[in-house]
Amino acid sequence: MRFGKRQLQELLYYMVLTRRLEETLVRLHRDNELTTPLGLRTGLEAISVGAAFVPTPKDALASSLPTVGALLLRGVKPEQIMLQFLGKEAGPSHGREGLLHFGDLSRGLVATTGHVATHVSVMAGMAFAYRVRNQERVALALVPEEAVATGDFHEGVNFAAVQKCPLIVVVVRYPLSREGSEVTQLYERAKGYGLASLPVDGSDLLQIVQVVETAMARAQAGDGPTLIEAVLRSSRRYFGNESAVPAPFKGAARLDSDGGEGAKDVDNDPAWRFEKFLLQQDWLSEADRASLIARAEEAVSDALRAVDGAAPAKTDRLTEGLYASP
């Protein structure tokens, strides 16, 4: 895929917007404004933005990771994400659920649950439907590495392999796992299912775009599913699972001078890596950089103003859509 200068800058904008929005959610969390624990996976901007960039809204996308960037790239507004975490009536789930488990089929977003692999089978079923209907559509599932230890994951990828479904599964891994299963060379093990498999640097946005594009081409040609193993370069997490504390995206000079863990690991930060790459290639000037950061900050500020005073969930409607009428 050939990129224009503006397109590359727009990808960086979505990475910065993701980070700025997550920083704001952390502040709301610390002020006890949120209705649920905040379990962001800050540092996945390259994966969430890169994986969502290639498919179109007609292609289905589901993630059991809180990939804010993918939602933003699919057209979900920052204020909708804030309303969701705040448990407001105007949020996508109307206050019934305060995490990012909502869907919007008009944007190709399929709702998930807190179980990390259940949607792999769902997406395999959707991909099967696309195949039997001869539709040029692809289903893409994003999962953390601990999903590989579940039956849902194996059932889904096995079915997709046997039926040659246009399914793409992206498994996100840290070099040193701190939770769930430790899986060595997952992309090699996938061959046991007859799956095509590709490793990728999970901190490099352009690499992720390239491998997802390759997987989509295979799927659309009728060559079946692909598993992509996206390994992050750093085992450092920016957060705890219950209360996120993301590292700020401020650019190399200020990150390098902070003297903390972020300074030691700045080269592995996906947002900074992409920014640095664009600067080195003269595809981003300091003025461009300042402009897109200001644009992202304004978008988040506008979202905060939009949600200020939003009505809480209506308690008499909380069970709507959950139970069948007698």
Domain with 291 in it: what CATH number?
Answer: 3.40.50.970
Q: How wide is the angle at C-alpha 101 spanned by C-alphas 13 and 319, nearest 5°?
A: 140
Instruction: Write down the pLDDT at residue 62.
Output: 95
Would the pLDDT of 237 be above 60? Answer: no
Q: Tell me how far apart the alpha carbons of residues 241 and 108 are, in angstroms, rounded to a whole number.
A: 27
Distance CA 92, CA 165 (A): 30
- Establish if 318 belongs to a structural domain: no
Beta strand 167-173 with 196-201 is unpaired
258 lies in some domain: yes
pLDDT top residue among 283 and 95 = 283
Q: Report CA-CA distances (Å) from 259 to 208, 250, 265.
A: 30, 14, 11
Predicted confidence band at 3 (pLDDT cuts at 50, 70, 90)?
Answer: confident
- Burial group, residue 192, by CB count within 10 angstroms (0-12, 13-18, 19+): exposed
Per-residue model confidence as pLDDT tens digits over 27-54: 888 888 887 777 777 788 999 999 999 9
Assess if residue 66 is contained within a domain.
yes
- Supply the pTM of this predicted model: 0.86
What was the pLDDT predicted at 129? 97
Instruction: Between 176 and 194, name the one with better pLDDT.
Output: 194
In a domain, 163, yes or no: yes
Which tokens hold the place of 130?
A: 């696309």
Confidence category of residue 234, pLDDT binned at 50, 70, 90: low
Domain with 138, as residue range(s), is: 5-235+245-307
pLDDT at 326: 66
How much is the average pLDDT of 165-183? 73
How many CB atoms sit inside 10 A of residue 251's CB? 19
- The domain total for the chain is 1
What would the DSSP string read from start to end of 40-84? --TT-HHHHHHHHHSS-TTSEEEESS--HHHHHHTT--HHHHHHH
pLDDT value at residue 324: 73
Of the candidates 82, 78, 15, which has an alpha carbon nearest to the alpha carbon of residue 42?
15
Q: Is residue 323 part of a domain?
A: no
Please report which confidence band the pLDDT of residue 174 belongs to, taking 50, 70 and 90 as the band edges.
Answer: confident
CB 292 within 8 A of CB 15: no
- For residues 74 and 158, what is the distance between their CA atoms, to the nearest angstrom? 28
Q: In angstroms, what CA-CA distances link 23 with 26, 27, 46, 48, 90? A: 5, 7, 17, 17, 22
Quick check: is 29 in a domain?
Answer: yes
Contacts of 241 (CB under 8 A, 6+ apart): 37, 39, 179
Whether pLDDT at 257 is above 80: no
Instruction: Give the pLDDT of residue 53.
Output: 93
**pLDDT confidence bin for 236, thresholds 50/70/90:** low
129 assigned to some structural domain:
yes
Q: Given pLDDT bands bounded at 50, 70 and 90, which one contains residue 292?
A: very high
The answer to the question of residue 314 being in a domain is: no
Q: Which of 33-47, 112-126, 156-170, 281-295 has the lowest mean pLDDT?
A: 33-47
Question: Is 50 exceeded by the pLDDT of residue 16?
Answer: yes
User: What does the pLDDT read at residue 185?
Assistant: 67
Write the DSSP symbol of residue 191.
Answer: G
